[in-house]
C-alpha cells in the first residue's frame, strides 16, 4: 500500500517535471528561427543604411516592420510556453 | 541563519488584481481598469489643455504636442499610407498615445504595472483595427479586396491549393492575433523580468547584501530598456495598423 502511494506521488512529480521540460523546449525552439531571422533583417538594414545614408528613414521603417513580422513567431512560442506550463 | 528558498510567485499573482470598487459586478474596477481610465483622462487633459490658446509659432509645451502629432503624421501616416491619407492621423495618433501611456505605467515608480499586459486591452485594440481594415477594404475595393488576397496574380494555377488557405488564415486570424499577442507578450515579459529582478534583489539583500548589487543594477538597466520597449511596441502597433489600412485602401500591384 505504502509503495503504491509513493508510486502515485512520483507519477505526479514526473508529470509536472515533464510539463516544465516541455514548456522550456517550446519556448527555446520557438526562439531559434526568429532569432536568426531578426539578425538577418537588422544586419541587412544596417548594410543598406551604411551604403545609402539618405535612405535611412524608409529603411528604418521597413526594418521595424520586418522585425515585427519575424518576432511574432517567437511571441507565439512565449504564449504557448504559458499554455504548456499550466 | 537560514537561507530560505527563493520562490517565484505563480504568474497569476503578478497580473490579477483585487477589485477596488463594485466588487463582484461585471463593471468592477481594479488596478488595470483604473489605470486605463486615468490614462485616457490624462491624454485628453494634456491635448485639450495644450491646444488652447495656440500660437502660430509654437513655444514650449505646444511644441512638444506638435512634434508628437508630426511624428505620427510624417513617420507613420504619410510614409506608409500616402500623402492623401491625413484623415487617418487622428485615429493613428490616439492609438499610438493610448498604447504609449499604458505601456509607460510599467516603469512609473509605485505603480509599475502595464495594463497592456492583460489580454483584454491589446485584444480589444486589435479587434478595433480588424473591423476597421475589413470595412475600409470592402468600401474601397469591394469584393476584390478579398479575392485579391486569396488569389494573388502571377501564381501558377496548381499553387493556389497551397496559397489560398494560407492567405485566408493570414487575413482572418493571424493578423489580428499577432497584433494583439505582440503587444501583450512584450509587456508581459517585461513585467515578469522586472518582478523577478526585484524579488531577487530583496532576497539577496536579506541573505548576502553584497551580491544584491548585481540584480539591483540589472533591474535599473532593464527598466531603462523597458522604456524603449514600451515606446517601440506602441510605434510598431500603430505602424502595422497603418500598413493594414494602406492594404485596404489600395490594391496590391
Question: What's the confidence (pLDDT) of residue B156?
Answer: 86
What does the buried/exposed string (b/e) look like for B199-212 if buried means 16 or more CB atoms within 10 Å of the residue's CB? Answer: ebbebbeeeeeeeb
Cβ of residue A10 closer than 8 Å to a chain B Cβ: no
Nearest to B116 by CA among B27, B196, B229, B203: B229
Per the confidence metrics, is the pTM higher than 0.95? no
Say if CB B150 and CB B168 are below 8 A apart.
yes
- B29 forms bridges with which residues in the sheet? B21
The minimum CA-CA distance between B209 and chain A, rounded to whole Å, is 31
Domain with residue A50: its CATH number is 1.20.20.10
Return the C-alpha cell found at B201. 534583489
Interface TM-score (ipTM) > 0.90: no
Q: Do B182 and A68 touch (CB under 8 A)?
A: yes
Using CA coordinates, name the residue in chain A closest to B75: A61
Question: What's the confidence (pLDDT) of residue B252?
Answer: 62
Domain residues for the domain of A25 are 2-85
Q: What's the number of domains chain A is made of?
A: 1
Q: Rounded CA gap, A85 and A70, in Å?
A: 24
Residue A5 has pLDDT above 60, yes or no: yes
Q: Which of B189, B235, B240 sits opposite A78 (nearest CB)?
A: B189
The minimum CA-CA distance between A39 and chain B, rounded to whole Å, is 18
Tell me: the pLDDT tens digits for B149-164? 888 888 888 888 888 9
Q: Do B11 and A82 touch (CB under 8 A)?
A: yes
Residue B253 has pLDDT above 60, yes or no: no
Cβ of residue A79 closer than 8 Å to a chain B Cβ: yes
Amino acid at each position: 500500500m505504502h509503495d503504491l502511494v509513493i508510486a502515485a506521488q512520483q507519477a505526479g512529480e514526473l508529470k509536472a517535471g515533464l510539463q516544465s521540460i516541455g514548456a522550456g523546449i517550446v519556448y527555446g525552439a520557438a526562439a531559434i528561427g526568429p532569432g536568426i531571422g531578426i539578425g538577418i533583417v537588422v544586419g541587412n538594414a544596417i548594410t543598406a543604411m551604411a551604403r545609402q545614408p539618405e535612405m535611412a528613414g524608409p529603411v528604418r521603417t521597413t526594418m521595424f516592420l520586418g522585425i515585427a513580422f519575424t518576432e511574432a513567431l517567437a511571441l507565439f512560442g512565449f504564449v504557448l510556453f504559458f499554455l504548456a506550463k499550466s | 541563519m537560514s537561507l530560505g528558498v527563493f520562490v517565484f510567485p505563480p504568474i497569476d499573482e503578478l497580473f490579477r488584481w483585487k477589485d477596488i470598487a463594485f466588487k463582484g459586478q461585471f463593471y468592477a474596477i481594479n488596478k488595470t481598469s483604473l489605470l486605463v481610465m486615468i490614462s485616457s483622462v490624462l491624454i485628453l487633459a494634456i491635448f485639450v489643455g495644450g491646444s488652447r490658446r495656440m500660437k502660430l509659432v509654437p513655444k514650449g509645451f505646444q511644441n512638444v504636442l506638435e512634434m508628437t502629432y508630426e511624428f505620427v503624421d510624417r513617420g507613420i501616416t504619410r510614409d506608409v499610407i500616402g500623402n492623401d491619407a491625413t484623415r487617418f492621423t487622428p485615429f493613428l495618433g490616439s492609438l499610438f498615445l493610448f498604447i504609449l501611456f499604458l505601456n509607460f505605467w510599467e516603469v512609473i515608480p509605485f505603480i509599475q504595472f502595464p495594463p497592456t499586459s492583460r489580454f483584454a486591452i491589446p485584444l480589444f485594440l486589435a479587434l478595433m483595427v480588424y473591423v476597421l481594415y475589413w470595412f475600409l477594404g470592402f468600401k474601397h475595393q469591394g469584393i476584390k479586396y478579398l479575392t485579391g488576397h486569396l488569389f494573388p496574380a502571377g501564381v501558377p494555377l496548381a499553387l493556389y491549393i497551397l496559397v489560398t488557405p494560407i492567405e485566408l488564415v493570414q487575413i482572418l486570424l493571424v493578423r489580428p492575433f499577432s497584433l494583439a499577442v505582440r503587444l501583450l507578450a512584450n509587456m508581459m515579459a517585461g513585467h515578469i523580468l522586472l518582478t523577478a529582478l526585484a524579488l531577487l534583489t530583496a532576497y539577496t539583500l536579506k541573505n548576502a547584501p553584497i551580491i544584491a548589487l548585481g540584480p539591483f543594477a540589472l533591474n535599473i538597466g532593464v527598466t531603462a530598456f523597458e522604456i524603449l520597449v514600451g515606446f517601440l511596441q506602441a510605434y510598431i502597433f500603430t505602424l502595422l495598423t497603418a500598413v493594414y489600412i494602406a492594404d485596404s485602401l489600395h490594391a496590391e500591384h
